[in-house]
A = this chain, B = another copy of it.
Amino acid sequence: MKRIGVVTSGGDAPGMNAVIRAIVRRAIPMEMKVIGFENGYSGLIADENRPLNLRSVSGIINFGGTFLGSRRCPEFKTEEGLKKALVNLKKHEITDLIVIGGDGSLNGALDLSRFDSINVYGVPCSIDNDVYGTDETVGFDTAVNTALWAIDRIRDTATSHRRVFVVEVMGRKRGFLALSVGLAAGSEKILVPEVKVDIEEVLELLENNRKKGKKSNIIVAAEGVGDLRMFTQKIHRKTGYDVRLSVLGYIQRGGSPTARSRILANLFGSEVVRMVEFENKNRVVGLLNGKVTSTGLEEACEKKKPLDLDLLRLTEQLAT
């Protein structure tokens, strides 16, 4: 009989609870057992866990965060940490471990999979969307909409005061979140780590927009581009414009997942149980070209998902 361990790891993302629910609700009717490990990889090491049944996951599909908890766990990057985890997994006779999380968490899953004593599966759940092998991670759509909601509000003030706003969004080292948010917000410019920031170009754009009679300018910037405080001050100094920096921060992580994040959670949770059933192991679930599929863990961890730079240009063209 299959005994599935489930762990949510790394930064929390909206939809993690929905993924757990989907896994539990699909696995148990197939006569599998499900054990939830708490507080991320540190719960694997410290053996904090609880059995999950059909009712354990009632009424959680619409909740942000993860009821299993998550935590950073540097120890899991050591061989010693990994071995402690394996001992605990063995103790509970876990045959298959499902890791729900982002890029960093999947790297941990890959490390674990090398020991070959357990089947490992990844479900990409992250507001950063920085996982190779899937066009979209669970939680990404929610974070995009949260940031968008915030920028719609900031636009009110920007227009009233004829200001330039630089809005920092999350995304770790990548620009996926900034790109989607900026395109949806009708922002005047998007700054991403994948493209070198050219302040002269930004200054020229602002000057052109002023001439065109634009009342406000929103520059959406990924946290990965570097120090935006300096950048903002520089724009102010060089133009005299009233420029403000707004760092959206942690509000982007939480909240009830959007329909899309929940549906993706349902599809991924369901698919990963099917993969467990057929021992299609050491793989990460994903959505590619509109279809649910999977990618090898190693490939997912090593390859870098490209950012569609055409959309940066489109955003600027549409903000003309």
- With a cutoff of 8 Å between Cβ atoms, the chain B residues found around residue A156 in the complex are 12, 14, 63-65, 253-255
Asked if A152 and B256 make an inter-chain contact with CB atoms under 8 angstroms apart, the answer reads yes
Nearest-Cβ distance from residue A312 to partner chain B, whole angstroms:
12
Asked if B160 and A317 make an inter-chain contact with CB atoms under 8 angstroms apart, the answer reads no
- With a cutoff of 8 Å between Cβ atoms, the chain B residues found around residue A246 in the complex are 249-251
- Cα A65 to Cα B291 with chains together (Å): 31
Nearest-Cβ distance from residue A208 to partner chain B, whole angstroms:
12
- With a cutoff of 8 Å between Cβ atoms, the chain B residues found around residue A77 in the complex are none
A320 within 8 A of partner (CB): yes
Contact A62:B12 (CB < 8 A) given known A150-B251, A266-B314: no
Asked if B214 and A61 make an inter-chain contact with CB atoms under 8 angstroms apart, the answer reads no
Number of copies of this kind of chain in the complex: 4
A240 within 8 A of partner (CB): no
Asked if B259 and A157 make an inter-chain contact with CB atoms under 8 angstroms apart, the answer reads no
Partner of A184 from the list B153, B159, B214, B262 (CB cut-off 8 Å) is B262
CB under 8 Å from chain B, chain A span 208-250: 212-215, 242, 244, 246-250
- Cα A247 to Cα B249 with chains together (Å): 7
**Stretch with Cβ within 8 A of B (4 or more), from A66-74, A83-91, A110-118, A298-306:** A66-74
Q: Give the nearest-CB partner of A213 in chain B.
A: B55
Asked if B157 and A12 make an inter-chain contact with CB atoms under 8 angstroms apart, the answer reads yes
- Cα A256 to Cα B260 with chains together (Å): 17
A178 within 8 A of partner (CB): no
- With a cutoff of 8 Å between Cβ atoms, the chain B residues found around residue A242 in the complex are 72
Nearest-Cβ distance from residue A38 to partner chain B, whole angstroms:
10
Nearest-Cβ distance from residue A112 to partner chain B, whole angstroms:
21
Contact A141:B314 (CB < 8 A) given known A153-B254, A253-B153, A291-B289: no
- Cα A145 to Cα B263 with chains together (Å): 11
Asked if A318 and B266 make an inter-chain contact with CB atoms under 8 angstroms apart, the answer reads yes
Nearest-Cβ distance from residue A272 to partner chain B, whole angstroms:
13
- Cα A267 to Cα B314 with chains together (Å): 9
List 12 extra interface pairs beyond A8-B160, A21-B186, A156-B255, CB under 8 A.
A12-B157, A14-B156, A54-B320, A58-B215, A141-B260, A148-B258, A148-B259, A148-B262, A184-B263, A244-B250, A247-B247, A266-B315
A-B contact pairs, 29 of them (CB 8 A): A18-B186, A21-B186, A21-B318, A26-B317, A55-B213, A59-B159, A59-B215, A61-B186, A64-B156, A64-B157, A65-B159, A141-B259, A141-B260, A144-B259, A148-B259, A154-B250, A154-B253, A154-B254, A155-B254, A156-B254, A165-B250, A180-B259, A184-B260, A184-B263, A184-B266, A251-B251, A270-B314, A270-B317, A289-B290
Which residues of A line the B interface, CB within 8 A? 8, 11-12, 14, 16, 18, 21-22, 25-26, 29, 39, 54-55, 58-59, 61-67, 69-72, 135, 141, 144-146, 148, 150, 152-157, 159-162, 165, 180-181, 183-186, 212-215, 242, 244, 246-251, 253-256, 258-260, 262-263, 266-267, 269-270, 288-291, 314-315, 317-320
